């Protein structure tokens, strides 16, 4: 049992969560939050490989694509909507988890400046006095964005590592103590959730044509380096 409020009715029965392509900040372990560094060359190559594969499994005429309005997500989503021939729905409620005073800092810089906060974050515990957003609020705003969608067979949600994690946890009814039960989405990877009975079920997780599809040394960034993957 959890003490979470009930989910609102959603107008879709299948959701694909797709994380944006790589940025230089992902590589250097810098917290992006709601700042907006651009995709790097590898990130754009990831999108070019992933979008056709993802599109092949989506119904034409029955798919909506909505995206965080941060540019790294918009650029990722546009590659898919171009293939599908549909309009993109920009959605600010899908922005990354606001990280307050950590945004723009590397993991090492946060550990040096805010050691107690960093230790709590590594342990998956609430981070006090950082500013930004409460994790539960991130999941709630993302669910609210889905509730406002037009009816469709599938919704592709193009978002960020932290927001994708909080949304997945909210849909699956996981308690805050169960955060990080699943490995975080890699850059340009996606997960699929479907309705089964009266509950959401995780059908596939962290799919992508990587790491074999990229050059040695340019594979998906490991969670130990990628700050936003486990926000």
Positions marked catalytic = 20, 96
pLDDT of residue 228: 63
Q: What is the DSSP letter of 88?
A: E
pLDDT of residue 159: 98
Any domain includes 90: yes
Query: Helix H segments across the chain?
Result: 24-28, 41-56, 71-84, 107-113, 115-122, 135-147, 161-172
Angle at Cα 2 formed by Cα 167 and Cα 198, nearest 5°? 65
Decide which of 123 and 220 is more confident: 123
The 10s digit of each residue's pLDDT in 141-167 is 999 999 999 999 999 999 999 999 999
Any domain includes 52: yes
Total domains in the fold of the chain: 1
Closest CA to 228 of 185, 176, 188: 185
Any domain includes 154: yes
Q: What is the CATH number of the domain that holds 121?
A: 3.40.50.1240
Instruction: Give the Å distances, CA to CA, from 133 to 85, 102, 162, 195.
Output: 35, 12, 11, 28
> Does 219 score more than 80 pLDDT?
no
* Spatial contact of 12 and 153, defined as CB atoms under 8 Å apart: yes
Any domain includes 206: yes
Average pLDDT score over residue span 175-193: 89
Any domain includes 5: no
Indicate the pTM of the whole model: 0.91
Residue 99 belongs to what domain range?
A: 14-230
Decide which of 125 and 13 is more confident: 13
> Does 224 score more than 70 pLDDT?
no
pLDDT of residue 4: 82
């Amino acid at each position: 049992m959890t003490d979470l409020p009930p989910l609102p009715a959603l107008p879709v029965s299948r959701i694909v969560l797709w994380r944006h392509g790589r940025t230089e900040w992902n590589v250097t372990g810098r917290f992006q939050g709601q700042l907006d560094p651009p995709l790097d060359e590898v990130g754009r190559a990831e999108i070019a490989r992933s979008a056709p594969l993802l599109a092949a499994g989506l119904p034409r005429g029955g798919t909506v694509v909505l995206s965080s309005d941060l540019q790294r997500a918009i650029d990722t989503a546009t590659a898919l909507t171009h293939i599908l021939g549909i309009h993109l729905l920009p959605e600010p409620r899908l922005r990354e988890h606001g990280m307050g005073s950590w945004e723009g800092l590397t993991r090492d810089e946060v550990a040096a400046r805010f050691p107690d906060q960093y230790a709590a974050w590594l342990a998956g515990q609430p981070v006090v006095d950082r500013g930004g957003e409460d994790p539960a609020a991130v999941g709630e705003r993302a669910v609210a964005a889905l509730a406002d969608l037009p009816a469709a067979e599938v919704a592709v949600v193009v978002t960020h590592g932290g927001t994708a994690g909080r949304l997945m946890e909210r849909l699956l009814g996981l308690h805050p103590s169960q955060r990080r039960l699943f490995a975080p989405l890699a850059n340009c990877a996606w997960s699929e959730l479907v309705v089964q009975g009266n509950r959401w079920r995780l059908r596939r997780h962290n799919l992508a044509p990587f790491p074999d599809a990229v050059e040695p040394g340019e594979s998906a960034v490991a969670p130990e380096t990628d700050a936003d993957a486990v926000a």
